[in-house]
Amino acid sequence: MELYPLKFKPIFKERIWGGQRLREVFGKDLPADVKIGESWELADLPEDKSKIANGPLAGQTIDQVIAEFGTAITGKDDYRPPLPLLIKILDAQDVLSVQVHPDAATCKRTEKGDPKTECWYIIDAQPGAAIYKGLQPGTTKQQFADAIANGTCEEYLVKVPVKVGECHFLPSGTCHAIGAGLLIAEIQQPSDTTYRVYDWNRVDPNTGQGRQLHVEDALESIHFDPAGDNLSVNTLGRLVDAQEFKVDKGHQAAGCEVLLSKKMKVLLILSGSGQITAENTEPVGFDKGDCLLIPAAFEGVMNFSKECEYLIATVW
């Protein structure tokens, strides 16, 4: 069969800090009266594998399709699973925990977890919204450990006001937190290893207890050298150019066309709509909030019926 752009069914994650904005902004069919903090748009993790939502392959998981079609999807003769991207949209109605994700060296040294470098693209931000990115210059491991113990670690975090359209790169080992009032597209390595160091003294309403912290693992994982204001922020063109993945931003007016060359890429549609056409395949429509994987063997054209902004994620 002729391969075509693959769309996916989102995987919704209930979070104590979430809400319902993914329904309001992107029309996602969220469960009612549930705080949904994350919509996993493309995932290939052991417990969470995205299912295809369109065309003849509908219902199959992403790993099944890659196993069947191989290089026609990935473009890599030496591909080894999992797919090296995890794409999410986050609705932060409240501040997230202060946390860190380990890098590859830490995972190897501690013999646990998987590395996770990520970036955050700011889709929407309420007035005064901010993120916490990195530690104040000169912060030592002992200082931060003491601050965690006495509940004052916030004073060591770099608080960064954010604006719509910014993309913040966070390499693994960066201590961070997402502030309240933000809608964020998150592109990352395929890992769910998260070590919390502080959760703002919150209590989970379902359990009446505070969420689990992972202080020892976090202190082993944090890089105590980079300052938050030295971690890159971009707004146009190539947003991220890292070893783990690359992210570009596209912005096209209604009526424009863009050629999709033969290379595997993932598109996350932030606004607008249109369709992708090619010989021998049915057109595939797209709308804001959609995530599409373009197989390496596919060559077609994006046609925009409305002005559109979108992110393009590639890994090789």
**Residues annotated as part of the active site:** 196
Q: Determine the residue type at 153.
A: C
Q: Determine the residue type at 306.
A: K
Residue 60 token pair: 């199959």
Taken in order 245, 249, 254, 255, is the CA torsion positive or negative?
negative
Residue 213 token pair: 């912290």
| Nearest C-alpha neighbor of 89 from the set 169, 1, 20 | 20
The residue whose two tokens read 């954010």 is: 162
CB 158 within 8 A of CB 133: yes
Residue 39 token pair: 């919509």
10 cis-preceded (ω within 30 degrees of 0): no
* Angle 230-234-238 from CA coordinates, rounded to 5°: 125
Give the rounded distance of the alpha carbon of 99 from its chain centre.
15
| Beta sheet of 36-42, edge-to-edge order | 11-19, 36-42, 86-92, 182-188, 118-125, 167-170, 233-234
